[in-house]
Every structure is written in C-alpha cells, then in structure tokens.
Amino acid sequence: MKSGLHIIFLLLVFAGFKGYSQDKLFLRKGALLKCKIIAVSEKTITYRDTAANSQLITIPKGDVILAEYQTGVIYIFSSENPIVQQPEVFETRDQRKERKMKEWKTKEHALSDNILGFYIPDLILGRLTMSFERLIANKTVGITVPLSLTYDSFGALAAASANSNSVNNGQTVSSPIRRTRGLGFIAGIDVNYYYDLKPELKYYFGPRIRYGTDMVLGGINGLTFQLQNGIFRSRGQNMTSTIGFGVGFVKLTGNNTVRSRDPKQVYPWASFTWRLGFRL
C-alpha cells in the first residue's frame, strides 16, 4: 500500500515539474518571452504565460525569430517581411538637370499667369512706367501692355548746366535754357517668347512697340519698333525680375525738331529694360 502511494507521489511531482517547465520565444525586437508554447501555425504562434490560469496569447509568426522548447528543440523562423535593400542609384548630370526641371515645371504650373510690373530705372529717365503681362501657352508666351507717364526729369540738371555763369571780357554772362514742361504718355505692347534655361530662369525675345511723347527728349512724338531679348527670373511664388535689351528704329511723327534733322525720317533706337514684377 505504501509503495503504491509512493509511485503516485512521484507521478504528481513529475507532472508538476512538466506543467511549470518553460519554453522560450525570442522576438525580433529583442524581447524574450518565457512561456508555454501551445501551437505554431502557418502565420501565428499561440502561447500561455507561466502564471497560473493565464489566458492564451496569439502573436504573428513574423514577430518571432526563434522558439526554444523546454526539451531543447529549437526552431528558427524566417522573416515574413524581409527587408530588401534597394541598390543605390546614381544620377548623371543630365538626369539631375532633367529631374529638377520637371519638379520646377510642376511647381510653376500652380503660379499665377498675371504679372504687374514696375520699371524702377525709368524714373531717372523721366518715365513712370507700369505694365501688365499675361502669360499664355503654358507660360511660354507673354503679352505685355506697358503705360508710361513721361516728364522732363533732366530739366533741373539741364537748367543748372545751361545757366552756369561764364566770364566774357570780365563780365558774367548767363546762358538761357529751354525746358520742356508738361506731361506726356507712351503706351505699347510686347510679345515675349520664353525658353527655359534652368529652374526659375528663362530666356526671352520678341517684338516691342511703343508710341507716344517723350518729354525728356524735348517732347518728341514717335513710333518705335524693336526686337528685344533678355532674362526672366522667378523669385519665389510672388515675385519676378526681368532684364532686357532691345534695338530697332524710331519713326518721328507730328511736330518734332531733333537737332535740325528731318522729323519725318527714321532713326536708330535702343532701350534697356529692368522690371520688378509681382504675380497677381
């Protein structure tokens, strides 16, 4: 009777040790779980914590790198989502230039097609000039309408020069001056064809026509035609700047006198343009 009880006690002790034996799960994040592995399926692993009356827990198989049973059997799992290292891509100079240009064209497409311009250097030349430009054909053509209020900006300087005192036989003689008074107007139209040089920078050329009265040149009336070219730069989302140079001719009209030349003749003409623009 005692021997039978002894055998039962040993079985219970063995069963107890077996029930509290620990398996191990090594996670890919570096954690170690001591548990009892219940089942391993195609995509999941189910285990129970070592605490008494613990619930079953199921985790993705891809989270586990290794499972070690208390018997010493080890299983190593491959990654469910292996990390594929992309080969390094090297751009050539032309490819980089093309990529940056595409990025700029996408950005440029969202910019306004309307530009209000101010010609600051014209103030010195006796012109208060503003313009409105409309970009069309995917910003490859610009139609510009300028308007200038002209005045004799050099009048004061000319007066000071002409009235400078000179000595003649010991007497001071002042030279008379003829100043142009009043205001004049000059209007016209430009057609600019734009070509991309690089992001935010374009080259342009096209015809330029002006008609009106230039008070700095003595109030002459004339029609000018030029071919101009220059550089157009975008500065951020709202500002632009334009630098250009044009050559052509002027046809005087009306009552003009230019150094005793025939007022009806055609003369060479040139211009310099610097415009600060604001997208509307």
For residue 239, pLDDT beyond 70: yes
123 and 248 inside one domain? yes
216 found inside a domain:
yes
How do residues 3-30 score in pLDDT, each as one tens digit? 444 444 444 444 444 444 689 999 888 8
72 and 187 inside one domain? no
Among candidate residues 121, 126, 167, the one with its CA nearest the CA of residue 272: 121
Residue 152: predicted pLDDT:
86
For residue 167, pLDDT beyond 80: no
- Domain C-terminal end among 76, 103, 124: 76
How do residues 27-48 score in pLDDT, each as one tens digit? 888 888 889 888 888 888 999 8
Chain mean pLDDT for the chain: 81
85 found inside a domain:
no
57 and 196 inside one domain? no
Find the radius of gyration of the CA atoms of the chain: 44
Question: Looking at residues 102-123, what average pLDDT do you find?
Answer: 94
**Lowest-confidence segment of 35-39, 137-141, 203-207, 250-254 by average pLDDT:** 250-254
72 and 115 inside one domain? no
223 and 117 inside one domain? yes
124 found inside a domain:
yes
CA 31 to chain centre: 47
For residue 88, pLDDT beyond 50: yes
Q: What is the 3-state secondary structure (H, E, C) of the chain?
A: CHHHHHHHHHHHHHHHHHHCCCEEEEECCCCEEEEEEEEECCCEEEEEECCCCCCEEEEEHHHEEEEECCCCCEEECCCCCCCCCCCCCCCCHHHHHHHHHHHHHHHHHCCCCEEEEECHHHHCCCEEEEEEEEEECCCCEEEEEEEEEECCCCHHHHHHHHCCEEEECCEEEECCCCCCCCCEEEEEEEEEEEEEEECCEEEEEEEEEEEEEECCCCCEEEEEEEEEEEEEEEECCCEEEEEEEEEEEEEEECCCCECCECCCCEEEEEEEEEEEEEEC
40, HSE (Cβ side, Cα atoms, 13 Å):
16
For residue 280, pLDDT beyond 60: yes
200 or 158, which is more confident: 200
What total number of domains does the chain contain?
Answer: 2
**Lowest-confidence segment of 4-8, 100-104, 166-170, 214-218 by average pLDDT:** 4-8
How do residues 176-195 score in pLDDT, each as one tens digit? 556 677 889 999 999 999 99
169 found inside a domain:
no
Residue 240: predicted pLDDT:
96
78 or 264, which is more confident: 78
Share of the chain above pLDDT 70, in %: 75
125 and 66 inside one domain? no
Question: Looking at residues 250-276, what average pLDDT do you find?
Answer: 77
What range defines the domain where residue 50 resides? 20-76
Question: Looking at residues 140-154, what average pLDDT do you find?
Answer: 92
Residue 1: predicted pLDDT:
47
Question: Looking at residues 241-265, what average pLDDT do you find?
Answer: 77
Question: Looking at residues 39-60, what average pLDDT do you find?
Answer: 86
Residue 148: CATH number of its domain? 2.40.160.20
- pTM of the entire predicted model: 0.61
Residue 79: predicted pLDDT:
63
57 found inside a domain:
yes
